[in-house]
Amino acid sequence: MSETVSGDGESASRIVKTTDVLGGQPRIAGSRISVLFVYERVEGRGLDPQTVADRHGLDVADVYRALAYYHEHPREMEEVRREREGAFESFSEDIDRPDGVSPE
């Protein structure tokens, strides 16, 4: 259950990847809040970084670090997004449904 620190310096060390937490997605150290989650709230939904920090018990600096990580690692974040979408599709196909009910 070791953490892999991503990047250089103190700021970057707040973004970690742990194989057994969130499937190894980059996240804010000491939390289960992923970089992608922060990005989707701030840039996807237009929430203020301070609002995201307050709602999830984070330091606003960590929200900004997560956003910086997202933009500094575009290929990795696209891969995280694809893996998540694939897992969702696989999960939705595996759900037992009553006869005649489709997943869509």
- Burial code of 9-37, b = ≥16 C-beta within 10 A, e = fewer? eeeeebbbbbeeebeebbbbeebebbbbb
Domain housing 88:
3-94
pLDDT confidence of residue 2? 46
Does residue 103 belong to any structural domain of this protein? no
Tell me whether residue 54 is in a domain. Answer: yes
Q: For residue 24, tell me if it sits in a domain.
A: yes
- What is d(CA 63, CA 48) in angstroms, rounded to the nearest whole number? 10
What tokens appear for 44 in the block? 């996807």
Instruction: Answer yes or no: is pLDDT of 87 > 70.
Output: no
* CATH number (domain holding residue 22): 1.10.10.10
Residue of 6 and 47 predicted with greater confidence: 47
Give mean pLDDT, residues 13-33: 92
* pLDDT tens for each residue of 26-81: 999 999 999 999 999 999 999 999 999 999 999 999 999 999 999 999 999 999 98
Residue 104 forms part of a structural domain: no
- Bridge partners (DSSP) of residue 17 are 4
The pLDDT confidence band at residue 90, using thresholds 50, 70 and 90, is low
